[in-house]
Amino acid sequence: MSLRKPTETEQLYLDFDGFFASVEQQARPQLRGKPVGVIPFDTTDHSCVIACSKEAKKRGVKNVMPIREAKRRCPEILLVPQSPDLYRRAHNTLVNEIASVLPIDAIKSIDELTCKLDVAAQRDPRATAEAIKARIHTHVGPHITCSVGLAANRQLAKIACKMDKPNGITLWHPSNMPGPLLQVDFDDVPGIGSRMQRRLFQAGIFSMRSLLATSPKQMRQLWRNVTGERLWYALHGYDIKAQPSERGMFGHSRVLPPENRSLAGAKAAARLLLTKAARRMRREDYYASRLWLHFALKTGPKQSVGHSGDLSFPAMKDDQACLAALDRLFDHSSRNFPRHCRVLRVGVALYGLSKATARQLDLFYDDDLIRQKWERATTAIDFLNTKYGQTIVSIGPWKPPAGGYAGGKISYTRVPSAEDFW
């Protein structure tokens, strides 16, 4: 753990304001200045607002709010179906514009990124943030805005970024700390969720002032792992390097359109989602040894339940093996469904990952000949689809559900690639 404590502002954290809705407003003049809600598809009110514009937020609409509740709070809200490929292209354009002002250190999600300030930028961090905003305004458009936090390290910059939304700039110079931090609520500190807040309250810690007065070892004990100690150093202005992360799974989920909420519709959607997850897995050169399948089931007028299952198998990456495992798991899971239920959502995930170079064969399962045959077939399928930029070959039928974007939907945690939309 690095214990260097910067004396200058070294990190910039940028968060786009209402990203998906603002991209829609920039692309569609008729939406500008009006309350906008982005929804999965436009064929039903039995879904939710995935994201909303600042005008909608001012009227009480929130992200992931049921459509009917959003309409009750804001009758004039304009609901538009999601356009994930538009958001992907907007993200890439915005990243290029920001990088022309300051090198990007890390892309945290489709609407958040961080930059390390160079020596020149450290002399006037606010001017650097204003230059980024001006570049976006001039070269992309005035309807996509961002909030910027500037501080000694990434954690403090991210907290500062939330202090003046939307379209603000918050600068916390190390010489002024911890003053501004003392006014921050626990809700605005990444790493302090509702469960952690309860634990802090039980320990008699009710404010940032009392949290900062603890010791690193106390923070470790409160969090019950080293994360608490790392957070203590970050909140005290030290330059804490981010821990390297490992890929844990490849997955997709999908809210099903009303006409596809049967077992047959759910299975067809699950096959598409799993195929796309397997393609992503192969692009990153992994094998998987477990499959997870989840359903959200509607069992009554106001009743819904979740149901999930998983399956282990020898490490694999080809479509045939993945889909065969899905068939087994789907049929086994669906036998336990309540009668007359409808499937609202289906999700799949491949996990138990290993790099192709580290794959170990099962001692009692000689799959070499069969596996190699299907891997060669899958490689040929991937080659043809890549060549033509669309799914022209698949194992089994390829019928995306209404609304499209199976496997390429809105994602807050990753940036989709062009291949996700084939």
CATH of the domain at 140: 3.30.70.270
Residues 152 and 297 reside in one and the same domain:
no
pLDDT in tens, 74-95: 999 999 998 888 999 999 999 9
Using an 8 Å Cβ cutoff, are 329 and 292 in contact?
Answer: no
Whether residues 221 and 280 fall in one domain: no
239/254 same-domain check:
no
Q: Quick one: 259 and 153 in the same domain?
A: no
User: What residues make up the domain containing 34?
Assistant: 10-173
Task: Choose the final residue of a domain: 245, 268, 299.
Answer: 245
> Which of 120, 148, 173 is the C-terminal boundary of a domain?
173
CA-CA-CA-CA torsion sign (33, 34, 37, 38): negative
**Residues 198, 154 share a domain:** no
C-beta of residue 81 within 8 angstroms of C-beta of residue 28:
no
Q: Write the CB contacts of 100 (distance below 8 Å, at least 6 apart in sequence).
A: 135
Peptide bond into 178 cis (omega under 30): yes
Whether 146 and 18 share a structural domain:
yes
Query: Domain containing 330 — which CATH number?
Result: 3.30.1490.100
Do 140 and 267 belong to one domain? no
Same domain, 87 and 202: no
| Residue 62 is assigned to a structural domain of this protein | yes
Region 401-414: mean pLDDT is: 62
Angle at Cα 249 formed by Cα 331 and Cα 21, nearest 5°?
100
Residue 237 lies in a domain: yes
The count of domains in the chain is 3
Indicate the burial class of 234 (C-beta count within 10 angstroms; 0-12, 13-18, 19 or more).
Answer: buried
Q: Would you say residue 329 lies in a domain?
A: yes
Tokens of 252: 């997709």
Residues 229 and 263 in one domain: no
Q: How confident is the model at residue 349 (pLDDT cuts 50, 70, 90)?
A: very high
pLDDT tens for each residue of 123-155: 999 999 999 999 999 999 999 999 999 999 999
- Has residue 2 been placed in a domain? no
Average pLDDT over residues 56-62: 94
Q: Rounded distance, CA 314 to CA 16, Å?
A: 42
Q: For residue 402, what pLDDT is reported?
A: 66
pLDDT band at 234 (very low <50, low <70, confident <90, very high): very high
Read off the pLDDT of residues 198-223 as tens digits, 9 standing for 90 and up.
999 999 999 999 999 999 999 999 99
Tell me if 5 sits within 8 A of 153, measured CB to CB. Answer: no
Residue 138 within a domain? yes
Is 296 within the bounds of a domain? yes
If pLDDT is split at 50, 70 and 90, which confidence band does 339 have?
confident
pLDDT band at residue 44 using 50, 70 and 90 as cut-offs: low
pLDDT at 366: 55
Q: What pLDDT is attached to residue 76?
A: 95
Same domain, 295 and 363: yes
210, 225, 245 - which closes a domain: 245
Residue 314 lies in a domain: yes
Of the pLDDT bands very low, low, confident and very high (cuts 50, 70, 90), residue 356 is confident
Closest CA to 380 of 236, 282, 251: 282
pLDDT at 247 over 80: yes
For residue 406, the model assigns a pLDDT of 62
Please give the average per-residue pLDDT across 366-370, as a whole number. Answer: 67
For residues 406 and 254, is the Cβ–Cβ distance under 8 A? Answer: yes
| CATH code of the domain in which 221 resides | 1.10.150.20
- Residue 305 has a pLDDT of 86
Q: What is the pTM assigned to this prediction? A: 0.82
Give domain status of residue 110, yes or no. Answer: yes
Q: Do 19 and 145 belong to one domain?
A: yes
Tell me, yes or no, whether 208 and 265 share the same domain.
Answer: no
